[in-house]
Amino acid sequence: MIERYTLPEMGALWSEEAKFGAWLEVEVEAARAMAQAKIIPAKAFKTIEKKAKFDIDRINKIEEEVNHDVIAFLTSVAEFVGEDAKYIHFGMTSSDMLDTALSLQMKRAGELIDKKIATSLKLIRRLALKYKLTPCMGRTHGILAEPTTLGLKFAVWFTELSRCRDRFKEACDTIAVGKISGAVGNFANLDPKIEAAVCRRLKLKPAEVSTQVLQRDRHAHFVTSLALLASSLEKFATEVRNLQRTEIGEMAEGFTKGQKGSSAMPHKKNPITAERITGISRVLRGYAVSAMENVALWHERDIAHSSVERVIIPDATILTDYALEKFIGVLRGLVVNEKRMLENIFYRGGVVFSQRLLLKLTGPAGSREKAYTIVQRNALAATEGKGSFRELIRRDRELRDHLGEAEIDSCFDLSYYSRNVGKIFKRVFGR
């Protein structure tokens, strides 16, 4: 991933140093387990534990000759360990190390991402409770619908992001497995207890069964859970983008001192961070397709998945980490314009109260169809600029034959639209 979208902590997890470090962790733990099982000499393991190191430049140089990254790595380590290096990787195949180490890295990346999801949830919860009863406009098809509360918008975000977190934690659990089962997964050269011991030390679970590799549905689960998470972040970002539109003006990203919105138009304040989150989500959904393409490998293994994963797994975690960081920034700096929200609710004299008036009029008018016709003609006249909805219905003689002024006024009571919000919040937040 380009530096622009790589935050230091997550970037460090996917550095060459970290990759080879994870490889070395697996090899050292495998040697430990084999020494304890008396497969290799205990003295040899002590030497391995003490001396095992690697040199990245040397690995790259060796790989130029042997064209095999694992052999190049093991050769570099052997140069530090000496004669006892013959017991490193004993009875193992490359993917025993590679897949177990990749699981370690993915698990650690998942822990960083989960912390940011938790922070996002905390901030959304705070916004939901703060704006629990703040009236705002609800829209369907992009058109004014009925009043709702801003708190309910955030409650929707909270529950959706909570589901994303549950899915992601399940995916992290699914990928937190290792395998030390040999060339085709049948433990021909090592007992399963070696695998169990290595995984226990690394805080992974042994795969129930494997081939030469861990099965890639696990990795696809992980990447698709990130794509779903990013898609929800895009949904939230899109809401901010829409509400920041000049014509709506109800919500906006923060705009810092000295920030510029446009090189040409000094008046501009653009939702650039929300737009960036949207773009990142598109990339992550593409990675999900690639991850699913990796599930079908030939027989016990081919390496068609390998080149794909070198790109999509580090990039997917780095991009998700970055998107969450930016989303947290949006939440912390969010600007809410309550005055504009009220203005939009009472647009054209409050045409959005048409359903409330319809319900009030249906009984006295004798039929829903008749009541609908009366209310609709006044609402459409208001939206066409022929007067205020509230004033038009006051002057409508047919309507006034059925409803008095007090009954009409009661239709514009905003508390009607928040009367059950408390019940929803109790269900979602317990308060």
pLDDT tens, 323-340?
999 999 999 999 999 999
Of 47-51, 96-100, 378-382, 418-422, minimum mean pLDDT range: 418-422
pLDDT of residue 346: 96
pLDDT of residue 2: 87
Q: Of 90, 109, 138, which one is at a domain's C-terminal end?
A: 90
Residues near 187 by Cβ (< 8 Å), separated by ≥ 6? 181, 195
pLDDT of residue 263: 76
pLDDT of residue 310: 95
pLDDT of residue 257: 80
Q: Note whether 199 and 206 are within 8 A (CB).
A: yes
1 part of a folded domain: no
pLDDT of residue 254: 85
Mean pLDDT value of segment 160-175: 98
63 vs 65: CA distance, rounded Å: 5
Q: Note whether 253 and 334 are within 8 A (CB).
A: yes
Q: How confident is the model at residue 264 (pLDDT cuts 50, 70, 90)?
A: confident
Mean pLDDT value of segment 385-392: 95
32 part of a folded domain: yes
Q: Is the pLDDT of residue 276 over 80?
A: yes
Q: Of 90, 115, 139, which one is at a domain's C-terminal end?
A: 90
The DSSP bridge pattern shows strands 177-178 and 205-206 to be parallel
202 vs 187: CA distance, rounded Å: 20
pLDDT of residue 343: 96
380 part of a folded domain: yes
CA-closest candidate to residue 269, choices 243, 250, 244: 244
Mean pLDDT value of segment 208-220: 96
Mean pLDDT value of segment 145-150: 96
Coil/strand/helix, residue 7: coil
Residue 71, domain CATH = 1.10.275.10
303 part of a folded domain: no
**Catalytic residue (choose from 15, 68, 262, 307):** 262
18 part of a folded domain: yes
384 part of a folded domain: yes
Coil/strand/helix, residue 147: strand
323 part of a folded domain: no
- Cβ of 360: how many Cβ atoms within 10 Å? 19
Q: Is the pLDDT of residue 262 over 80?
A: no
Number of independent structural domains in the chain: 2
Q: Of 69, 90, 111, which one is at a domain's C-terminal end?
A: 90
Q: What percent of the chain has pLDDT over 90?
A: 94
pLDDT of residue 36: 97
**Catalytic residue (choose from 141, 267, 299, 415):** 141
Q: Which amino acid is at 57?
A: D
Q: Which phi and psi angles does 136 have, rounded to 5°?
A: -150, 170
CA-closest candidate to residue 204, choices 173, 181, 165, 182: 173
Give residue 356's domain range: 351-411
Q: Is the pLDDT of residue 267 over 90?
A: no
pLDDT of residue 131: 97
88 vs 58: CA distance, rounded Å: 18
Q: Note whether 354 and 145 are within 8 A (CB).
A: no
This prediction's pTM: 0.94
Q: What is the CA radius of gyration of the chain?
A: 30
pLDDT of residue 261: 77
pLDDT of residue 260: 80
Q: Is the pLDDT of residue 24 over 90?
A: yes
Q: Is the pLDDT of residue 361 over 90?
A: yes
Which alpha helices (H) appear in 334-402, and where do they start and end? 338-345, 354-365, 368-383, 389-395, 397-400
Our answer to whether residue 221 is catalytic in this structure is no
pLDDT of residue 229: 98
